[in-house]
């Protein structure tokens, strides 16, 4: 008798990736609401940075989902843009981890080089969100919600500059919940919206 593993259905994998995105957004939103995006103490920095790392892992889940479903389109440039985003995200993740665990190095120049990849990766996600909407491979709310989710940087950073850190913290955390956490839930509950080839 031969035992074979039951293959994971595409909807199950897509749901799991979507829930990974929602979880990451929820964790970072909670840390940011509690400590702010510019915490006042080392513990706050560590937990906010680690929350940001969990969010970035959630973004990797979203990118994996987009790659699986060819969300940005089937052309070579459309596929490459998702891989470029992964490349931008990795040094940003390294920054999040090192910034969390090396408090005496937080202002070091070498770490600042990695910090540049955080905003670059978020701007890359914004471009991808627009591309998903125009490509039309995802349907319904799954097609338009990436633009909402991935506008985080272009909404939150100006809000912090104009209204100050207290308002900016609330705007940023709320945007994570309304944007990325909701996008993950939309796909988790309606995975047929992102099935490729339909």
Which residues of the chain form beta strands (DSSP E)? Answer: none
List, for residues 43-78, the tens digit of each pLDDT value: 999 999 999 999 999 999 999 999 999 999 999 999
What is the residue range of 91's domain? 11-191
Let me know if residue 196 belongs to a domain. Answer: no
List, for residues 92-137, the tens digit of each pLDDT value: 999 999 999 999 999 999 999 999 999 999 999 999 999 999 999 9
pLDDT tops 80 at residue 2: no
The helix (run of H) or strand (run of E) holding residue 9 is none
pLDDT computed for residue 168 by the predictor: 92
Nearest to 104 by CA among 46, 32, 52: 46
* Average pLDDT score over the chain: 93
Let me know if residue 20 belongs to a domain. Answer: yes
Let me know if residue 6 belongs to a domain. Answer: no
pLDDT tops 90 at residue 9: no
Let me know if residue 106 belongs to a domain. Answer: yes
The phi and psi torsions of 142 (rounded to 5 degrees) equal -65, -25
pLDDT computed for residue 3 by the predictor: 54
Let me know if residue 145 belongs to a domain. Answer: yes
List, for residues 131-163, the tens digit of each pLDDT value: 999 999 999 999 999 999 999 988 998 999 999
Domain count for the chain, please give it.
1
Let me know if residue 57 belongs to a domain. Answer: yes
List of residues 6+ apart from 49 with CB closer than 8 A:
96, 97, 99, 100
* Tally of helices (H runs) and strands (E runs) in the chain: 9, 0
List, for residues 73-90, the tens digit of each pLDDT value: 999 999 999 999 999 999
- Pull the structure tokens for residue 25: 């957004």
Let me know if residue 185 belongs to a domain. Answer: yes
- Which residue is associated with the tokens 């939103």? 29
- Do 182 and 145 contact (CB within 8 A), yes or no? yes
Q: How confident is the model at residue 198 (pLDDT cuts 50, 70, 90)?
A: very low
Structure letter (DSSP) for residue 6: P
Q: How confident is the model at residue 15 (pLDDT cuts 50, 70, 90)?
A: very high
Q: How confident is the model at residue 10 (pLDDT cuts 50, 70, 90)?
A: confident
For residues 8-12, average pLDDT: 75
Q: How confident is the model at residue 195 (pLDDT cuts 50, 70, 90)?
A: confident
Let me know if residue 4 belongs to a domain. Answer: no
- Pull the structure tokens for residue 3: 């035992």
């Amino acid at each position: 008798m031969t035992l074979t593993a039951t293959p994971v259905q595409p909807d199950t994998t897509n749901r799991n990736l979507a829930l990974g995105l929602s979880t990451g957004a929820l964790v970072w939103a909670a840390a940011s609401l509690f400590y702010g995006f510019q915490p006042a103490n080392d513990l706050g920095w560590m937990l906010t940075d680690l929350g940001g790392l969990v969010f970035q892992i959630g973004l990797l889940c979203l990118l994996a989902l987009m790659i699986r479903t060819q969300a940005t389109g089937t052309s070579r440039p459309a596929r490459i843009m998702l891989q470029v985003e992964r490349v931008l995200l990795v040094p940003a993740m390294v920054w999040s981890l090192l910034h969390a665990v090396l408090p005496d190095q937080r202002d070091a120049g070498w770490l600042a080089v990695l910090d540049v990849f955080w905003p670059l990766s978020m701007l890359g996600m914004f471009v991808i969100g627009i591309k998903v909407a125009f490509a039309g491979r995802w349907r319904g709310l799954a097609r338009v919600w990436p633009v909402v989710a991935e506008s985080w940087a272009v909404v939150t950073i100006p809000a912090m500059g104009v209204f100050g850190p207290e308002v900016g913290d609330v705007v940023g955390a709320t945007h994570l919940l309304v944007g990325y956490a909701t996008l993950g839930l939309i796909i988790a509950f309606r995975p047929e919206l992102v099935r490729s080839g339909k």
